[in-house]
A and B are shown apart, each in its own frame.
Chain A
């Protein structure tokens, strides 16, 4: 055991470079603190054991003594004084440290029987068991070792029925032995356990330090820009794994945000640049030659249209970026989705009818959810606009708001050209547009906003084939 501790210590000393850091850890401080508590606890426990044992033993001997006394009294009462004397003389023949000692006197104090030499002066004659220190006058041949402490007499004396006085006594010396033993125990156990506690603390500290080091290293790597790092998960599902998993989730989010930011700046750079250049070119060309007033007016009007389009695109981009960031600063409260859908639906229904498109609306009432009314209205509007854009005369659009598997369910389907399977992810990217739609009005941001709004509301967006046409489904989270 000592050897084991020693080798552990050696190992730690060899790694003394880390030792300094180890000692600074919270773990080692806690370990040391708890070692001290532990040592105090052990001491207290040992002290209690000592005291309890002592008491137990004492009361044991005490009751034995009382029994003995009563036994003798009974003999006198039943068989008379001579029987008692006989009994005492019999018992006195036993010579041992442990033996009972007796003293019987007549009312005037004359000794009748017993193996004690003298009647103890300090003893109260009241039938109560008392503790007395040994005096050489009790029993001069009684061997009491000089360095013994804690040994004492238990004595009980009382007046008998006939006036005689009876004393029963016993020498108790165990206490000293117990005390010696306990002290020995303390000197052995306490330092050993203290040592063990410190060692364990150091080992624990080292283990935890290693885990935390790993997290710190990963964090540093990420802080310097390498976003692909993640904290290692040991698979044990312990508290460190929990921490790791939370950190990783945070890192995923940060990575997503950073990528989102890059995308936004890329988009702004690339996709606003074209219309801006176009605007400038138009104006420049106009200025190049002499024009008449009508031509100038026309050019200015076109320029304004371009500018409006730019503003709209810019606003939409901003809205998407904010929504994707997931912490849209807008209001978040109960939205009557049924009423919202009905209102928007009816607006577009009129246009659909004007264009010869059948518009079928089935909105379940009282569908209310937590969200942002503005974003939801924008998203639904985008979907309806898309449906109208891609459905030709004679076609149909179906708008459903209801329930599916205990979740709120929104579905918009049309029988237009639809979106090919391989392009479905693509359309959710910003500014993507299917080839033949390049020349239609719109800035291509419609569906990507819908996706961002769905994500923000923890809903799933699905695009599928309507055979023919496109089916857009938004499935919200479970109704609580």
Chain B
């Protein structure tokens, strides 16, 4: 991915750049809001990482300017302001996702990949398929090897989300947020339990396991690990 990171804390910015480039990304850094806007408008990035507290122009204002100029590049807001109110403000300003510092690096990467993935599949699809697992987005019917599988509503949403991110890792936090709209941090692994139940229905009676656990990060659905 071609990433623009707009962050005024030089050390933090370099650290992130190093980490992201270690995952085969290209990262440009901008240290203030004005420069950030200009860079974003000129070059063709895949995704932006924007800190809220910036000199010259704050993060949200930066995003608003981009949106007003018709620029719909995906933006991930990275902020020390973590109240639920702040999150809502960020998303309303035009941001696509919101992470609170400090956050796990793996979480950041997973979310960046999710944002860029969204870009590519903007055509309307009615069916999603991984190997012999097929789901119909309109009827919510799920089959594997043409055998129908009955899923509870939340289980279906879980599976659909995984399949929309096929091949990419999604974190537990992402799942809790996107599917349940919960922003709290459960101590016990509520997501893991849900996932194991889903696995039982999707993978157990079949040859190839499709749902994989990525240690320390989250889950992924794909044909092979």
> A residues bordering B, Cβ < 8 Å?
308, 311-312, 315, 322, 329-331, 343-344, 346-348, 350-351, 354, 372, 374, 377-378, 381, 385, 388, 441-442
Q: How far is the CB of B191 from chain A (nearest CB, A)?
A: 8
A311 to B185, CA, bound (A): 11
The reply to whether A351 and B182 contact each other, CB–CB distance below 8 Å, is no
Binds A, one of B26-34, B80-88, B119-127, B159-167: B80-88
Q: How far is the CB of A312 from chain B (nearest CB, A)?
A: 6
Instruction: Assess A347 versus B180: contact at CB under 8 Å? Given A311-B102, A312-B185, A388-B188.
Output: yes
Q: Is B154 an interface residue (CB 8 A)?
A: yes
The reply to whether B188 and A351 contact each other, CB–CB distance below 8 Å, is yes
Q: How far is the CB of B161 from chain A (nearest CB, A)?
A: 15
Contacts of A372 in B (CB 8 A): 84
A388 to B154, CA, bound (A): 21
From A322, A344, A348, A350, contact of B83 by CB (8 A): A322
Q: Is B139 an interface residue (CB 8 A)?
A: no
Find the B residue at minimum CB distance from A443: B187
The CB with the most chain B CB atoms within 10 A, among A311, A347, A385, is that of A347
A343 to B188, CA, bound (A): 16
The reply to whether B84 and A331 contact each other, CB–CB distance below 8 Å, is yes
Q: Is B22 an interface residue (CB 8 A)?
A: no
Q: Is B69 an interface residue (CB 8 A)?
A: no
The CB with the most chain B CB atoms within 10 A, among A308, A312, A343, A441, is that of A343
Find the B residue at minimum CB distance from A449: B184
The reply to whether A441 and B187 contact each other, CB–CB distance below 8 Å, is yes
The reply to whether A344 and B182 contact each other, CB–CB distance below 8 Å, is yes
Find the B residue at minimum CB distance from A386: B187
The reply to whether A343 and B85 contact each other, CB–CB distance below 8 Å, is no
Q: Which 4 residue pairs across A and B have the least CB separation, nearest first?
A: A378-B184, A347-B190, A350-B193, A374-B84
List 25 interface pairs A-B (beta carbons < 8 Å), by A numbering: A311-B102, A315-B185, A330-B83, A330-B84, A331-B84, A331-B85, A331-B88, A343-B180, A344-B180, A344-B182, A346-B154, A347-B180, A347-B190, A347-B194, A348-B190, A350-B190, A350-B193, A351-B189, A372-B84, A374-B84, A377-B183, A381-B184, A385-B186, A385-B188, A442-B187
> B residues bordering A, Cβ < 8 Å?
82-85, 88, 102, 104, 154, 180, 182-190, 193-194, 196-197
A331 to B84, CA, bound (A): 8
Contacts of B194 in A (CB 8 A): 347, 350
Find the B residue at minimum CB distance from A441: B187
Find the A residue at minimum CB distance from B102: A311
A354 to B196, CA, bound (A): 10
A412 to B102, CA, bound (A): 33
Find the A residue at minimum CB distance from B88: A331
Secondary structure dominating the interface of B: loop
Find the B residue at minimum CB distance from A440: B187
Contacts of A374 in B (CB 8 A): 84, 183-184
The reply to whether B197 and A350 contact each other, CB–CB distance below 8 Å, is yes
Find the B residue at minimum CB distance from A374: B84
Find the B residue at minimum CB distance from A388: B188
Contacts of A312 in B (CB 8 A): 185
Find the A residue at minimum CB distance from B152: A346
From A308, A311, A322, A351, contact of B193 by CB (8 A): A351
Find the B residue at minimum CB distance from A349: B193
A308 to B216, CA, bound (A): 13
Q: How far is the CB of A457 from chain B (nearest CB, A)?
A: 15
Q: How far is the CB of A468 from chain B (nearest CB, A)?
A: 23
Contacts of B188 in A (CB 8 A): 348, 351, 385, 388
Q: How far is the CB of A303 from chain B (nearest CB, A)?
A: 14
A329 to B84, CA, bound (A): 8
A442 to B188, CA, bound (A): 10
Contacts of A354 in B (CB 8 A): 193, 196
Contacts of B189 in A (CB 8 A): 351
Contacts of B85 in A (CB 8 A): 329-331
A329 to B81, CA, bound (A): 12
Contacts of A381 in B (CB 8 A): 182, 184, 186
Find the B residue at minimum CB distance from A315: B82
Q: How far is the CB of A14 from chain B (nearest CB, A)?
A: 61
Q: How far is the CB of B110 from chain A (nearest CB, A)?
A: 16
A223 to B169, CA, bound (A): 56
A388 to B187, CA, bound (A): 11
Contacts of B187 in A (CB 8 A): 385, 441-442
Q: How far is the CB of B149 from chain A (nearest CB, A)?
A: 18
Q: How far is the CB of B207 from chain A (nearest CB, A)?
A: 26
Contacts of B193 in A (CB 8 A): 347, 350-351, 354
From B83, B182, B184, contact of A329 by CB (8 A): B83
Q: How far is the CB of B83 from chain A (nearest CB, A)?
A: 6
The reply to whether B182 and A377 contact each other, CB–CB distance below 8 Å, is yes
A50 to B66, CA, bound (A): 84
Contacts of A344 in B (CB 8 A): 180, 182
Q: How far is the CB of B93 from chain A (nearest CB, A)?
A: 16
Q: How far is the CB of B199 from chain A (nearest CB, A)?
A: 12
A312 to B83, CA, bound (A): 14
A336 to B188, CA, bound (A): 24
A348 to B190, CA, bound (A): 6
A347 to B188, CA, bound (A): 10
Q: How far is the CB of A365 from chain B (nearest CB, A)?
A: 16
The CB with the most chain B CB atoms within 10 A, among A312, A348, A381, is that of A381
